[in-house]
Amino acid sequence: MDIITSVKDMQQRSSAARAAGQRLSFVPTMGSLHQGHLSLLEEGRKRGDLLVLSIFVNPTQFGQGEDFADYPRALQRDSELAASVGVDIIFAPTAADMYPKGYATYVDVDGITENLCGASRPGHFRGVTTVVSKLFNIVQPDLAFFGNKDFQQLAVIRRMTSDLNVPVEIVGLPIFREADGLAMSSRNVYLTEEQRQEALVLSQSIAEAKRLAAAGESDCETIISKVTELISSQAETRIDYVQICHQLSLEEQKQVDNDSVILLAVFIGKTRLIDNSFF
């Protein structure tokens, strides 16, 4: 496995692989890998000849006062995990190489970036779509793998690649969870033991929403108020949003139907966690 840090070297390596007829699988991440990331890599391994993992804590997708400086970084451990699932190349660029002096170009997706995380994290998706566009141009993948965990991010990336005719197939994969239901996240390391316990309320309240819908409740307001009550019963929680939306448009719905997805963002202490599920 190679670790490439230069944008130019990565681009040359990808161009050569493509010229040799190789199919490129790509998994973009911010590192601090967990089983959720590994599930994307395993799928990428199966479907491509050359598997590229990027690790880049992208400054442009963090807002002021967010955790850019504190975000966990663990390149040594990540390298061992990546090697264990057959990654061929880790691309770990520097911020200076990705955003050199004079950098001035950004990719903006309207509409579906305005609700949910887009509303509470202004500029976040602009940073995401910009870095993903750059990574696609550098790595030149045939396939790129993303998790449903960041449901809105995946929808935004699908919109962007479709709108800009980007020749990359976007593959979305299920949320990988701990045995007790907590969605895996690099940010889970911020939680104290008590907070880790409280964080279970995210998946538990989603399960309750699904139970209500399965029992015939279709009114979104009623389901959301039950979920809100459950989350609020925990001492250190603060709800950012609880919404039931159409899975493609991400517009809020009044009635649950086959296209509905419930999405949550909840602070546990200072740590903001997200989770979601189809019904």
Sites of contact with ligand AMP (CB under 6 A) = 29-30, 36-37, 39-40, 146-147, 149-150, 175-176, 183-186
To the nearest whole angstrom, how small is the minimum distance from the Cβ of residue 4 to ligand AMP?
18
Q: Indicate the residue among 71 and 241 with the shorter CB distance to ligand AMP.
A: 71
Beta bridge partners of 263: 243, 276
Nearest-approach distance from CB 30 to ligand AMP, in angstroms = 4
Closest residue to ligand AMP in the complex (CB): 147
Smallest separation (angstroms) from ligand AMP to the CB of 24: 17
Closer to ligand AMP by Cβ: residue 67 or 219: 67
Judge whether 32 and 38 are in contact, CB under 8 Å.
Answer: no
**Rounded least distance, CB 154 to ligand AMP, Å:** 7
Question: By C-beta, is 44 or 147 nearer to ligand AMP?
Answer: 147
For ligand AMP, which is the closer residue by CB, 3 or 232? 3
Catalytic residues: 37
200-204 contacts, C-beta under 8 A, 24 or more apart:
201/230, 201/231, 201/233, 201/234, 201/237, 201/266, 202/231, 202/264, 202/266, 202/273, 202/275, 203/177, 203/275, 204/230
